[in-house]
C-alpha cells in the first residue's frame, strides 16, 4: 500500500480499491470539537504536483476555524434544514426535531469525515468537505463545504459536488455563498 506524507495531517494511506483516494488517521477538528479522518480524493500525485501543497494550506485554514465560526454557520445549516423540511413531509422527522431552533441545529448534526479535493472546473481551488450525518436526512446526510478551507461556501446533502454552481450547472456568480467568497 502506498502512502503520502502531509505536514498537516500526517501519513495518508492509499485506498486499496480507489487509487486516487488517500486517508489519514483522525485529526482534531476544533470547529466541530471532534477527531475525524481526512481523505484526499481524486488525487493522483503524478498528475497534480501542487495538490499536496494546496491541500495542506486549505487544511491549515480549516483546522484554524474555531467554534466561534461554527456559530456563524448556524443560520445556513438551519435554513438548509427548513428548506429540506418544506420539501418533504415533516411527519417523517423524529419528534425531537419538531420546532428546531437555530441554536439547537448542531444537536442533530454528526460530523464523520473530511474530504479534500480540487474543483475540476472554473476556479480549480481546493475545497474541504465536512461530511456529516444528520437526523433529518439519514440517507443523504449533510455536507458543509469550505473553499480553500477558509469560508463556508456550500450547505447541501452529500451529492459529490463542491459548489451549487457545479451541482446545478449555473455560473459561479449565481451561486450565493460561492460568489460571496
Q: How far out from the chain centre does Cα 168 lie?
A: 18
The order of strands in the sheet holding 142-147 is 3-6, 10-14, 22-24, 38-40, 109-118, 126-134, 142-147, 151-156
Task: Indicate the number of domains in the chain.
Answer: 1
Give me the pLDDT at residue 121, please. Answer: 86
CA distance 137 to 3: 34
Q: What is the DSSP letter of 64?
A: T
Q: What is the DSSP letter of 97?
A: G
User: Where do we find the cell 461556501?
Assistant: 153
Closest CA to 112 of 172, 37, 170: 37
The C-alpha cell that represents 115 in the structure block: 474530504
Give me the pLDDT at residue 88, please. Answer: 72
Q: Would you give per-residue pLDDT tens digits along the chain (181 residues)?
A: 799 999 999 999 999 999 999 999 999 999 999 999 999 999 998 889 999 999 999 999 999 999 899 999 999 999 999 888 877 766 666 677 878 889 999 999 999 999 999 998 899 999 999 999 999 898 999 999 999 999 999 999 999 999 999 999 999 999 999 999 9
Whole-number mean pLDDT of the chain?
Answer: 93
Give me the pLDDT at residue 84, please. Answer: 87
Give, for 111, the enclosing helix (H) or strand (E).
Answer: strand 109-118
Domain that holds residue 169: 1-181
Give me the pLDDT at residue 85, please. Answer: 83
Task: Using CB atoms within 10 Å of the CB of residue 180, give its burial: 0 to 12 exposed, 13 to 18 middle, 19+ buried.
Answer: exposed
CA distance 176 to 158: 19
What pLDDT digit, counting tens, does each position of 122-170 carry? Answer: 999 999 999 999 998 989 999 999 999 999 999 999 999 999 999 999 9
Angle, vertex CA 44, rays to CA 40 and CA 131, nearest 5: 20
Amino acid at each position: 500500500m502506498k502512502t503520502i506524507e502531509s505536514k498537516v495531517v500526517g501519513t495518508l494511506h492509499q485506498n486499496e480499491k480507489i487509487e486516487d483516494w488517500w486517508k489519514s488517521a483522525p485529526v482534531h477538528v476544533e470547529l466541530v470539537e471532534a477527531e475525524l479522518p481526512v481523505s484526499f480524493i481524486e488525487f493522483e500525485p503524478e498528475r497534480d504536483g501542487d495538490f499536496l501543497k494546496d491541500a495542506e494550506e486549505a487544511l491549515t485554514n480549516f483546522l484554524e476555524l474555531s467554534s466561534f465560526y461554527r456559530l456563524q454557520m448556524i443560520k445556513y445549516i438551519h435554513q438548509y434544514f427548513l428548506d429540506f423540511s418544506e420539501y418533504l413531509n415533516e411527519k417523517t422527522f423524529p419528534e425531537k426535531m419538531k420546532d428546531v431552533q437555530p441554536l439547537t441545529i448542531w444537536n442533530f448534526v454528526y460530523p464523520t469525515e473530511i474530504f479534500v479535493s480540487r474543483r475540476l472546473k472554473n476556479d480549480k481551488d481546493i475545497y474541504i468537505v465536512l461530511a456529516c450525518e444528520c437526523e433529518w436526512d439519514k440517507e443523504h446526510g449533510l455536507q458543509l463545504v469550505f473553499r480553500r478551507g477558509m469560508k463556508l461556501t456550500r450547505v447541501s446533502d452529500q451529492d459529490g459536488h463542491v459548489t451549487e454552481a457545479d451541482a446545478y450547472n449555473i455560473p459561479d456568480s449565481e451561486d450565493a455563498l460561492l460568489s460571496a467568497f
